[in-house]
Amino acid sequence: MHDDRSLVEDRLRRVLDDRVRPAVYPESVPLDVAVWHAPGEPVPVAEGLAAEPEPITVGTRWGAPWGTSWFTVTGTVPEQWAGRTVEALFDLGFDGNMPGFQCEGLVYRPDGTPVKGVNPLNQWVRIGAPAAGGEQVRLHIEAASNPVVFGPRPFQPTPLGDKETAGAEPQYTLNRMDLAVFDETVWNLVTDLEVLGELMAELPVDSARRWDILRAVERALDALDLQDVGGTAAEARSRLTGVLSSPAAPSAHRISAVGHAHIDSAWLWPLRETVRKVARTAANMTALLEDEPEFVFAMSQAQQWAWVRDHRPEVWARVKKAVADGRFVPAGGMWVESDTNMPGSEAMARQFVHGKRFFLDEFGIENDEAWLPDTFGFAAGLPQIIRAAGSKYLLTQKISWSQTNRFPHHTFQWEGIDGTRIFTHFPPVDTYNCAMTGAEIAHAARNFKDKGAARHSLAPTGFGDGGGGTSREMIARAARLRDLEGSATVTWETPKAFFDKAAAEYPDAPVWVGELYLELHRATLTSQAKTKQGNRRSEHLLREAELWAATAAVRTGFRYPYEDLDRIWKTVLLHQFHDILPGSSIAWVHREARATYERITAELDGIVDAAQRALAGDGGTPLLFNAAPHALAGVPAGGAGETADAGTPTGLTARDGGGHVLDNGLLRVEIDARGLVVSAYDIDADRETIAPGEAANLLQLHTDLPNKWDAWDVDKFYRNTVTDLTDADEVTAGEDGASVRIVRSFGASRVTQVLSLAAGERRLLVDTEVDWHETEKFLKLAFPLDLHAERYASETQFGHVFRPTHTNTSWEAAKFEACNHRFVHLAEPGWGVAVVNDSTYGHDVTRTVRTDGDRGTTTTVRVSLLRAPRFPDPETDQGVHRFRHALVPGASIGDAVREGWRVNLPERRLTGAAGTAPLVTVDRDAVVVTAVKLADDGSGDVVVRLHEAHGGRVRATLTADFETTGVTATDLLERPLPDSPSLDGNRVALRLRPFELVTLRFGRHA
């Protein structure tokens, strides 16, 4: 037989595009349209419905950037359409290639009842099936004219990312507002031909199945009268019955489809718009659930559920019913789909506390899975947190975006830093916006790396990023793929059903140990510095507020601010969303984030001050309140008291050759005439910290224009060019006699640094203020160390992770920018160095061997300070920034932990009557208390969270300094665990494995 595949396939494409798809709506009549443009921010539904609209015609431009327009459409169903299916078609100016990234609408009836959302790939609203001839139609559309920030040429700077700079030019053209007859037979024929055509293209050319489909499609096209598609569609469909009913092979890959709409809580739109995106999507999905009995839809992010509840009660009522029916499924058990690299230990825990508790309180549903399809890599402390929250599974898709290495598994056990393992799945469909196309399904089956041991995978199905969700077309495709020869099988299932099935099937899944590093989007560790600083400082302020409020509540009867802390935590958690904290959202989002963090700071400072004043009482004794988990200046952790003598005062002298020398008997630091640290000598250890011929406190400036994803990415070639900022405008001794001030100018920017060495301390503080006015530049701060280390420790949640300093493999070379929390630590046996920070995350560590002199190793730690990408925020990080870092020579890992906490917590001093004993004390520095608070249920019980922080086994005793009725070990949600420690008086004996996390609840009399 002659090979006529191309002829038939081209015919199929032409007939589908030019004849069959247009015949889905064979008849239409225009609707009358009027519009009212809301003058400012979105208005309540009642106000929008009551407004007086003005007539508008199709073809008219409408919608200023970020505006809201209320369209009113009216019309009459023609008498001759009686008994036929009629739909309203609304095209607000959509681009079908960009669902979720442009204008959208939510349709209402005149009484305010939501009908469904409309978006580029979901433009219909059912009027009647069958319709009544002469029926009057009146609908309202709340339409958002969100501008297209991610335009035809992506990553171009645009003012559209902030309402304050976006202007008022109309963004869209009204394209269609019609009533139309919907021909369901033709619509089904479209789906039949699409599914078979897509499947055919994925099958081997020498496959008999491919040719069977080709001939069936040819027969169907022959049966179709192109002048009467509607009249012949049924016959054409009948000729496809055989190939559509042939069952899949028993060995076929099995896909669990989960209805899904990934909705970024903020990204190329502000938070307030996400509130509406979620409502539109939820309205669509609840409507679809009513029509499709097998369909299951899952929605993550408790914050988004709360938005529907609080802002769209009419949609919420439908959602609650669908949840009760088991069809609309809460997923993930987190407050938002957060970044997991940068949130601190407690914050990461609270993501699960607040997320899981919301679903439990609202629906009585416990989530088993963490659902993070789009998060930019996963910190190695996360498995223990997931398990401590009572969950056991993880789903993500993002690792498939890695540029260098292909991850070797799709289903595996992920082992964290403490040994906890979590059953994890990466959908091999390689998208969290699966549309159920033949190419996607075939790719999932081919791509699945665990063949022979497992055969199940998950496909999150529905338009996402900006929402939209699953469409009826996707459901129709899935129905045909349920059991179809040549294809993987597709079944609608909940995430829990998939995971339970997959885990049972694959009990000996392979193990991946350590972080799940995304080899992409590394610059998200640095972009939008003020957002990152706001997060870090809010986390530590929340620690202080809980600690001092709990202490004051137990000691003085102070009113513990349960509601305020709950609200503030949720706000901080929201801003850890994976496009807010990483700095990859539009200018509007980060402008609002800065203002939010300022409000949070003021409110938390108020709580801390009120609690501390209640504890201090009236008096003139100077008191230090120590919120750190280690003793400070003689004041115990979590307590308040008078400070001990600091030790030998620091001396400041002139340096031979220019510059200054700081010496406190522990460290001798030489700062040359350029303001660079050329020596940091550990006197006790008789050891130099700075590599020979090198200088620390070196600011380095790189050109930084990644190939794409400007705010997200830094490409390795940025290192090819560097400018060392060694010229100083001034290097002067500080008036306090213990510091040196350095001023530098470069480009349009200016840096002022103060290097200080306090009495009795083995740490050099580096305070940096940058008035930053560069574009497409990357600013680093370098510390070249005379130290030979093949690996270094980087703090993560509830511990630290080790990374190599070498690049033996492509996996190691790909980690050229990585995340740390408060410290980076490097060591040779018996001596180490820590670099600690108060608000930065990105860093790199490199090593070279000196070819002359001692032939020793120089290991350089560089912290990332600032970037200046121009998309999606063209003014990223312009302005003044302040950072604090410290170089700690002679540091053990315990010193790194201690100094990391200290640099992040301000010293708070009051005068009062007397000091305050801590509520709890621990007798081992290796055990770090991360939270002291009152129980969330309002019982007055004291909750203490702690972990082993040095990476070794430890025995310790925790002592409670208050009257307690007993102690219980709990999960993160403060629910009792089966095994609890015994209480000996007020003491609890602890035996912790490396990095083990423990939560203890101490009962108190009501």
**Amino acid sitting at position 290:** E
Contact 883, 838 (CB under 8 A): yes
331: closest CA among 261, 423, 379?
261
Q: What one-character DSSP code corresponds to residue 717?
A: G
The torsion of the CA quartet 667, 668, 674, 675, rounded to 10 degrees, works out to 40
Distance CA 930, CA 808 (A): 36
Label residue 317 exposed, middle or buried (CB < 10 Å: 0-12, 13-18, 19+): middle
Distance CA 849, CA 512 (A): 32
Tell me the CA distances in angstroms from 112 to 48, 304, 909, one per residue in order: 10, 21, 56
Contact 524, 582 (CB under 8 A): yes
Contact 327, 295 (CB under 8 A): yes
**Amino acid sitting at position 903:** V
Secondary structure of residue 293 in the 3-state scheme:
coil
Distance CA 371, CA 367 (A): 10
Scanning 854-1000, the segments in alpha helix (DSSP H) are 893-904
Peptide bond into 130 cis (omega under 30): yes
Catalytic residue among 162, 374, 450, 838: 374
Contact 186, 24 (CB under 8 A): yes
Q: Please spell the DSSP secondary structure of 602-649, one letter per residue.
A: HHHHHHHHHHHHHHH-SS-EEEEE--SSS-BTTBPTT-EEPPPP--SP
- CA 768 and chain centroid, separation: 28
Distance CA 894, CA 950 (A): 6
**Amino acid sitting at position 319:** V
**Amino acid sitting at position 272:** R
Distance CA 805, CA 861 (A): 10
Q: What are phi and psi of 147, to 5 degrees?
A: -75, 160
Contact 146, 273 (CB under 8 A): yes
Annotated active-site residue 325? The verdict is no
Tell me the CA distances in angstroms from 904 to 533, 640, 845, 885, one per residue in order: 11, 18, 22, 10
Q: What one-character DSSP code corresponds to residue 249?
A: P
Rg (CA), the chain: 31
Strands 136-145 and 104-108: antiparallel
Secondary structure of residue 459 in the 3-state scheme:
strand
Q: Please spell the DSSP secondary structure of 533-548, one letter per residue.
A: HHHHHHHHHHHHHHHH
Contact 282, 604 (CB under 8 A): no
**Taking the alpha carbons of 897, 903, 906, 912 in that order, is the dihedral positive or negative?**
positive
> Among all residues, which ones are annotated catalytic?
374
